[in-house]
Structure 1
Amino acid sequence: MTETLVSCAVLIASAFVSQSPRAQPETLIRLTVDATPAPRPALKYMLLPEIKEMTQGNPIPNYLKCILDEEATGTNEPLNRLGLKQVDRAARMDKPDWQILPKLKTDGVGLLLPDLQKMRQLASELNDRFRGEVALRRFDDANVTAKTMFALARHMGEHPTLIGDLVAIAIATVAIGPFEEMLGQPGCPNYYWALTALPHPFVTLDRGLEGERVFVSAELRDLDDTNPMTSAQLRKLIAHLDTIREIQRNEKKTGEWLADRAKDEKNLTAARARLREQGLRADRLALFSPYQVLLLEAKMDYEIQRDEEMKLVYLPTWEAVARLKDYPRPKEQPLFNSFLSALYKVRLAQGRLEQRIALLRHVEAVRLHAATHGGKAPAKLSDVTVPLPVDPFSGKAFRYEVIDGVAHIRGTPPEGQENVAVYNLHYEIIIRK
């Protein structure tokens, strides 16, 4: 049985002590498990659909058809058994394509994404089925649902937006809840090697990052770096920018921002020099109005800042998170500052999922060890004979101890998140007698 307890209370060291230290908030996940060896063959139970299960096709429209069929009934009832079987089939199609690249290139930040909520709805209904199968100890059926949910998350990760990546991470996290419950059921197979076989990272950010680059290009497609722009063209562009920028209470509108800077000839000379360094021809720049020059410089500043932050995402989690957290933003707000993505928060979410999966590998490693050591948890992690992943947030081994026969595995929170419960994961593992 699994109990998830989020505790933010004061730790009372003794009922008779008037002063006591405040406990670090944590998310406690308590599991009572069997001492279970790896299945034979070792990869009998996988957590993503295998090629032998796959069919040709695009899963995305098939997922959405399931929701549309449900909505067509007008009853607001969850998908029935046959409807969820259709989701299972969609999850086993081999070529996910969200088919929104043309709109991504034209709609920019105004791109509508109603499909994302529908995918979360599917995940919720699958989650209910998963929990029911676990409660009845129908492990083979539960394994099918686990594959469907994790495949759904992976397909969601193919969405060319960071919002899509965050939904993918959320769906995978939802799937982990009933999966943990399954590990606590008597007779549950050991999933150490199945967890080890999962892609790493489970949800990549590659497509979302590429999409972010396209978003702003779509919004600035009318900013010409080849020919002089007319006054009418500039007015139209400035008006468009004012509709999409997040105008802060004391922030000037685009036209005012440009007017202030256009008064400073030294500023304009420096802007032209910087643009020449980026490859724009001097004879063309000489024909551009001050506003066009300043807008081109602002676009260049945005692209530089964007890539300086974006390149850090590809580092290992413990390095990426630390560097993104402390990455300096310009003191003076650039014109296109509002286009910059919250990459630190996205990378934190990705790291949380990776940490959770890594912790579950540890749980299953404890079960493996106990199966050959009289039902006892390893005294220390070095006693475990299978490879163990490092904590994504620290780059070091997870914290581990055994107290009165109960194993405790703790994740290390990233800097700045020490007092946030969801970043203080604590697995308490009791070996069932």
Structure 2
Amino acid sequence: MMSRRFVTMLTVCVSQWWATSLPAQTVLGPEGPRNPEQKQPPNRIFHYELTVTPAAEPSPPLKYSLYPRWNELTPGNSVPMWYRALSRIQTSNTHFQAFGENQERWFTDPWDALPVDEIRSFLNIWSSDLENAQKATYREDTDWDLRLRDLRGPETIAILLEEFQNARQLAYVLALRIRLNLLERNYDAVLADMRICFRLAHDVAEPETLINDLIGMAIIANTEENIQHFIDTPGSPNLYWALAAMPSPMIDLRPAMQAEMSLPVRLFPWLKDPEAVDRTPAQWHQVLHDTMQQVAYYADELPGLNPSETGIDIALLALVARGYPTAKRQLIEAGHAPQDVEALAVGQVVGLHQQHVYQQMWQNFEAASILPYQQAQRRFDQLEQGLQRELECSEVIPMVSVLLPSVRHVSYAGMRREVSHAILMTIEAIRMHMAVNEGRLPASLDEISIVPVPNNPVTNVPFSYELKDDTALIDSPFPYYHQQYRISVDAN
């Protein structure tokens, strides 16, 4: 069974191949290829309103934790215990279907209207699964043993990731138990389940794929939403130091980015070194034909695509005719002797050039990702402008031009999580300040001296803060994820 994500990605590749007569109709951005006539995605604004009570600094400071401490870990691999916890978490399971049917109501009903007995009855069904998740949380090691870097050819995209999708369902069950325990002010139980969620997010993101990273970040986002509810609960303890002590970053995106950008070479091994094998012109034609045939097979649901031998031959002829002049010119510009390039088979010229384009694009984007966020985004913008020109005339096999925007999109998602984490720490610093200032909100973030207030990770300066009519406003603009918090003091 084929991974839907990769089928979609390859479908886009073939779509771009078929659109070569209209290259200017496609431009790139952080959300992927789009038509310039389409409007940019809206800059969504997320509003949050919290009513808080003062919360003093814990004593000792690390009294509470949101992630297992080193001295709490036990020998062993967490993965077998995760598999046990996930074994029944499937949408086909009768009990879990009941969760799906009631999920929206259980998570959105007012606190005083929650069907407590109904929720507790549902959670009791999963007690053994949640116990296994608890054990996984405190294991020393995490090894899924997928060996993704060893996969080549079609098996590269044939791997199933169902267990990781099911991890999100496990996180929803944990979130429901957190909601119930918050209602009962059982803070120790709440924090214990948050530790499970954060360790689950970390472990799910261990395999080097962007989809795993995105699933992990989705679990983190859900758990951070519950931290907001925690902070909003009267009398809740302060989590400033618990948040500060969490791994940073919780999910390292670079291994998955490197794996994603190596996908063309792993899927089509000839791209690694086109000169490693001495091929005849007919053999080069066959290499390009087989490459296109594979892509056509993966995207066989694309309307108008004819994956027959004749259809592929016609398309390949058109693509090579379009790409060969540019490939020849750029190989000469790269230092190849003109007479040597002229002597090469047409297919070899195209193949060598595709390998050159791939290496340049991949390494430029990976280098940009190493930079601090704002510098990286400026570099990404410059590279994408150049990539647009490559799309129009250079890349006969447009795998990289599809992968790069998805890599950038995940980098946005990673930074969103860092911003959300810093905002939560800022709010807890505010509550700590209130505890030693007769319950008053600070007039400015500079007024807080009891603990350091984190900067906005995007700008590396403090968040925008304003105190107006006894309400604190925290504003954090971010592309497609603008967050605004209104913080008022619980009058009770």
Secondary structure of 1:368's counterpart equals: helix
Is 1:120–2:168 an aligned residue pair? yes
Aligned residues of 2:465 and 2:472 also touching (Cα < 8 A): yes
What amino acid sits opposite 1:99 in the alignment? D
Secondary structure of 1:203's counterpart equals: coil
* Bigger shift: residues 345-354 or 64-73: 64-73
Q: 2:67 aligned to 48, 53, 73, which one?
A: 48
Q: Gaps (5+ residues) in structure 2?
A: 1-42, 100-124, 306-311
What amino acid sits opposite 2:143 in the alignment? D
Looking at structure 1, the residues matched to 214 and 373 of structure 2 have their Cα atoms a distance apart, in angstroms, of 16
Aligned residues of 1:133 and 1:141 also touching (Cα < 8 A): yes
How far did residue 117 of structure 1 move?
0.9
Looking at structure 2, the residues matched to 110 and 48 of structure 1 have their Cα atoms a distance apart, in angstroms, of 34
The residue number in structure 1 matching 2:13 is none
How far did residue 104 of structure 1 move?
5.5
Query: What is the correspondence of 1:216-365 to structure 2 with a 5 Å cutoff?
Result: 216-223=264-271, 224-230=274-280, 231-232=282-283, 234-244=285-295, 253-262=315-324, 264=325, 267-268=327-328, 270-271=330-331, 274=334, 289-325=345-381, 327-328=384-385, 329-333=387-391, 334-339=395-400, 340-341=403-404, 342-365=406-429
Query: What is the correspondence of 1:138-177 to structure 2 with a 5 Å cutoff?
Result: 138-177=186-225
Q: Gaps (5+ residues) in structure 1?
A: 1-23
Q: Which has the higher helix share?
A: 2
Secondary structure of 1:228's counterpart equals: coil
The number of residue pairs the alignment matches comes to 397
How far did residue 26 of structure 1 move?
2.8
1:203/1:73 Cα in 2 relative to 1: closer, same or farther (>3 Å)? Answer: closer
TM-score where L is the length of structure 2: 0.73
Aligned residues of 1:88 and 1:148 also touching (Cα < 8 A): yes
Aligned residues of 2:422 and 2:456 also touching (Cα < 8 A): yes
Looking at structure 1, the residues matched to 279 and 148 of structure 2 have their Cα atoms a distance apart, in angstroms, of 26
Looking at structure 2, the residues matched to 29 and 268 of structure 1 have their Cα atoms a distance apart, in angstroms, of 56
Secondary structure of 1:172's counterpart equals: helix
Looking at structure 1, the residues matched to 315 and 149 of structure 2 have their Cα atoms a distance apart, in angstroms, of 27
Q: Percent identity?
A: 24
1:307/1:44 Cα in 2 relative to 1: closer, same or farther (>3 Å)? Answer: same
Looking at structure 1, the residues matched to 194 and 92 of structure 2 have their Cα atoms a distance apart, in angstroms, of 27
Q: 1:100 aligned to 127, 132, 146, which one?
A: 146
1:220/1:383 Cα in 2 relative to 1: closer, same or farther (>3 Å)? Answer: same
Q: 2:136 aligned to 90, 101, 116, which one?
A: 90
Secondary structure of 1:240's counterpart equals: helix
1:116/1:74 Cα in 2 relative to 1: closer, same or farther (>3 Å)? Answer: closer
Secondary structure of 2:474's counterpart equals: strand
What amino acid sits opposite 1:201 in the alignment? P
How far did residue 62 of structure 1 move?
2.5
The residue number in structure 1 matching 2:244 is 196
* Bigger shift: residues 94-103 or 340-349: 94-103
How far did residue 141 of structure 1 move?
0.6
Looking at structure 1, the residues matched to 51 and 91 of structure 2 have their Cα atoms a distance apart, in angstroms, of 43
- RMSD (Å) for aligned C-alpha atoms: 3.0
What amino acid sits opposite 2:232 in the alignment? G
How far did residue 321 of structure 1 move?
3.3
Larger relative contact order, structure 1 or 2 (CA cutoff 8 Å, min sep 6): 2
Aligned residues of 1:109 and 1:216 also touching (Cα < 8 A): no
